[in-house]
């Protein structure tokens, strides 16, 4: 096919395609789309839930813990003098102690590792929760 | 108002005013529907897919970064939604034979085209377009009907520019062959005159 034929075909194709009618959707198309979108929005609003513990309560709890810590540090309460010191827990602690049950010695490093792991788990739960919330939004 | 105020309505929609989205729907519904109809060839199905397209656009509006034109972005979503539907149905397979075309043939066929009544011409061309394979039909529609440039088409159909050019060239020849075939009796009678 030479250039002249290509141009002729190009022009003719343009004429042909321009001849096709302008296709329009039904009159209520836009309304249907908006109805679906509004229904989606309502559904989304329904799904928004209130947390069990509100921010106010969290603030109160945090303030309470801080106040208690400060109080203990300031007054220097000795745990040995409290009511707890009068109760003998050795029966319980010995029963669940690894050291006595399995004759295991846990080093300080391992202990710190476990503590760190325990801290990481709640952090990860929070992270995963926000990740999944975003995913399902 | 300029088409560029799309940004204004996008922003308003993202701020929570879902009614602003209806302006965008009104603005682009014909374009999306025409594309869906070209691909699916079925009015009800095309309308359904067009609706799905707008719902997808609404849901992912925050991901529109303005790198391409908003219309191109919507086109791409519409195109992919149609492709998904086609894959699901897998009933749209067309094979058209391509023959060599001479300038003489083009002139003759064009004169037949001119002699047809407007309405008849429009119906025949539509039928011929429907016989093209769906990817070529879309490229032809976007290029000649919506007058998009190659770069925009490349963005919509996710093909290379070379590939789009080849398909466009092939589609022109196929459309011509189909049209010629459908008006063949007229061509023969014109030769006899």
Q: What band does B2 get if pLDDT is binned at 50, 70 and 90?
A: very low
Task: Please give the residue range of the domain that contains residue A11.
Answer: 1-48
Q: What band does A98 get if pLDDT is binned at 50, 70 and 90?
A: low
Q: What band does A40 get if pLDDT is binned at 50, 70 and 90?
A: confident
Mean pLDDT for B37-41 is 86
Range name among A90-104, A115-129, B115-129 with the lowest pLDDT average: A90-104
- Using an 8 Å CB-CB cutoff, list chain B residues near A24: 29-30, 33
- Say if residue B181's pLDDT is above 80: yes
pLDDT, tens digit, 9 for 90 and up, residues B70-117: 999 999 999 999 988 888 776 555 556 666 778 787 887 888 888 888
Indicate whether A32 belongs to any domain: yes
Structure-model confidence comparison of residues B185 and A108, the more confident one: A108
- Using an 8 Å CB-CB cutoff, list chain A residues near B100: 1
* Ordered structural domains, chain B, with CATH: 3-89 (1.10.1740.10), 103-192 (1.20.140.160)
Indicate whether A115 belongs to any domain: no
Provide residues of A within 8 Å CB-CB of chain B: 1, 4-5, 8-10, 12-26, 29-30, 32-34, 36-38, 40-41
Indicate whether A83 belongs to any domain: no
Give long-range contacts, CB 8 A cutoff, 24+ apart: B18-27.
B18/A34, B18/A37, B18/A38, B18/A41, B18/B58, B19/A34, B21/A34, B21/A37, B21/B58, B21/B61, B22/A30, B22/A33, B22/A34, B24/B57, B24/B70, B25/A29, B25/A30, B25/A33, B25/A34, B25/B54, B26/A30, B27/B3
The total domain count for chain A is 1
For testing contact with chain A, the best of B45, B49, B144, B178 (most A CBs within 10 A): B144
How close is the nearest chain B Cα to the Cα of A14, in Å? 5
Indicate whether A42 belongs to any domain: yes
């Amino acid at each position: 096919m030479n250039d002249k034929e290509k141009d002729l075909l190009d022009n003719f194709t343009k004429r042909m395609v321009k001849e096709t009618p302008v296709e329009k959707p039904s009159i209520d198309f836009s309304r249907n789309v908006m109805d679906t979108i509004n229904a989606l929005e309502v559904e989304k609003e329904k799904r928004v839930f209130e947390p069990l513990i509100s921010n106010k309560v969290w603030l109160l709890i945090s303030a309470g813990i801080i106040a208690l810590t400060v109080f203990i540090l300031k007054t220097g309460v000795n745990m040995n003098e409290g009511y707890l010191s009068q109760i003998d827990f050795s029966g319980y602690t010995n029963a669940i102690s690894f050291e006595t049950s399995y004759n295991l010695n846990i080093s300080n490093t391992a202990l710190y590792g476990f503590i760190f792991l325990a801290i990481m788990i709640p952090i990860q739960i929070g992270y995963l929760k926000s990740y999944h919330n975003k995913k399902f939004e | 108002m300029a088409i560029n105020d799309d940004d204004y309505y996008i922003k308003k929609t993202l701020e929570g005013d879902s009614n602003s989205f209806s302006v965008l729907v009104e603005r682009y519904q014909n374009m999306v529907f025409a594309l869906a109809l070209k691909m699916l060839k079925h009015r009800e199905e095309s309308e359904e897919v067009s609706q799905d397209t707008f719902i997808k656009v609404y849901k992912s509006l925050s991901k529109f970064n303005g790198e391409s034109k908003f219309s191109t972005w919507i086109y791409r979503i519409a195109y992919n939604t149609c492709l998904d539907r086609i894959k699901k149905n897998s009933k749209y397979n067309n094979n058209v034979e391509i023959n060599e075309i001479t300038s003489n043939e083009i002139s003759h066929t064009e004169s037949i085209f001119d002699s047809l009544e407007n309405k008849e011409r429009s119906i025949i061309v539509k039928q011929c377009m429907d016989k093209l394979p769906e990817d070529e039909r879309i490229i032809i529609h976007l290029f000649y009907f919506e007058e998009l440039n190659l770069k925009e088409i490349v963005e919509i159909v996710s093909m290379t520019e070379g590939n789009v050019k080849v398909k466009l060239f092939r589609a022109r020849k196929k459309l011509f062959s189909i049209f010629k075939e459908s008006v063949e009796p007229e061509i023969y009678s014109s030769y006899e005159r």
